[in-house]
Homo-oligomer: A and B are copies of this chain.
Amino acid sequence: MNCFTVQARDAGARAGILHTAHGDVATPVFMPVGTQASVKGVTPDELTACGVGIILANAYHLYLRPGADLIAHAGGLHAFMSWTGAILTDSGGFQVFSLARLSRVDDDGYHFASHLDGSRHSFTPESVVALQETLGSDIAMVLDDLVPAGVDEARARDAAQRTLDWAQRAKRAIRRDDQLTFAIVQGSTFEALRRRQAQDLAALDFPGYAIGGLWVGEGRDVGLAMVDASTSELPVEKPRYLMGVGTPQDLIESIARGVDMFDCVYPTRSARHALALTTSGRLNLRNAAFARDLRPLDAQCQCPVCASFTRAYLAHLFRAGEMLAPRLVSVHNIAFLSELTRSARTAIVGGRYASWSEQRLAALRDATASG
């Protein structure tokens, strides 16, 4: 059975349903990040109240702490963190690459030292499949070979080839039939490489596909061009997930190019820096302009934070160093991105994505509210 149903198409944009072992998820969808089995400061109940049905967790972090055996002992990741919705786990490639002390990448996999205690570990395409099966996520990612931004084409081609080989090995290693495994399109900023890898991976018939290695410093136009190149070669009936993206603008532009799924620490990390997302741009709550502002963060927002609290109160909480501040703004920011993707979906179904996106992008450029 296909895990994805495309319900409507509007130029390049798509509205669909992703079918997982923990419920159906309407797309386009933004997945809040719960790296360590916790979306920072936010409870599962609050995520549900924000309209969130799927979150991301990181296999690398959970492997190191608290360990997959403990999570299995607790009945799997859903039971461990008390989340009844769907979970996508990242394979750990990106974290090994960016966070751990990486000693070697070879055809076998990654060999690295933990960022926590320096202990030595290896991740192979097979071991990360087994790891994610133990965690029990609904969607697992294959291990991919990453390269820094700005490498030459030969190096990018080698990494893409290894990513393809690893995807084949991952596919053979799958044992659970209730978990969807997504392959990852690499290819740095080389369009032909991206297209070729998307074609090669498409031939392997994975349930879904991610686009990786972007938004790492290549510039937004280049990133969007690479998204275009990738989605145009991927099968239309499979979900596409753009990893680690992004801002409201990024989401709107990428949905237009056929992306269905997103994840990013942006809403929660912004919240910890007193930055609130609104339809008319981002507010810096440390700005003096908000100290006496009795309006909610966003007058159009239906979230529980906007129902109860003013900008002035939230600004006070940040100045006073109160932990309630990042918590409340995290809830709002997640609700905001969740609403943005729901609104995008409605526009796609209604065949008016172009005008909707034009209007939302114009509003986001509104300077008056950006403080």
Identify the A interface with B (CB < 8 A).
36-45, 61, 65-66, 70, 73-74, 80-82, 291-292, 294, 304, 308-310, 312-313, 316-317, 319-320, 322-324, 326-328
Contacts and interface: CB of A to CB of B under 8 A. Distances in A.
Contacts of A317: 36, 38
A41 B323 contact: yes
A37 B314 CA distance: 11
A313 B80 contact: yes
Nearest 4 Cβ contacts at the A-B interface: A82-B308, A36-B320, A66-B316, A38-B322
Nearest to A322: B38
Contacts of A294: 73-74
Contact of A309 (B82, B313, B320, B323): B82
A37 B318 CA distance: 12
A49 to B, nearest CB: 11
Contacts of A80: 310, 312-313, 316
Contacts of A316: 36-37, 65-66, 70, 80
23 contacts: A36-B322, A37-B313, A40-B322, A41-B324, A41-B327, A45-B304, A45-B308, A61-B320, A65-B320, A66-B316, A66-B319, A66-B320, A70-B292, A70-B312, A70-B316, A80-B310, A80-B312, A80-B313, A81-B313, A82-B309, A82-B313, A323-B327, A327-B327
A319 B308 CA distance: 32
Given A323-B323, A326-B323, A308 B44 contact: yes
Nearest to A330: B323
A74 B44 contact: no
B313 A43 contact: no
Contacts of A312: 66, 70, 73-74, 80
A67 B42 CA distance: 29
A291 to B, nearest CB: 7
A326 B41 CA distance: 9
Contacts of A319: 65-66
A43 B332 CA distance: 14
A45 B45 CA distance: 13
Contacts of A313: 37, 74, 80-82
Nearest to A83: B308
B70 A324 contact: no
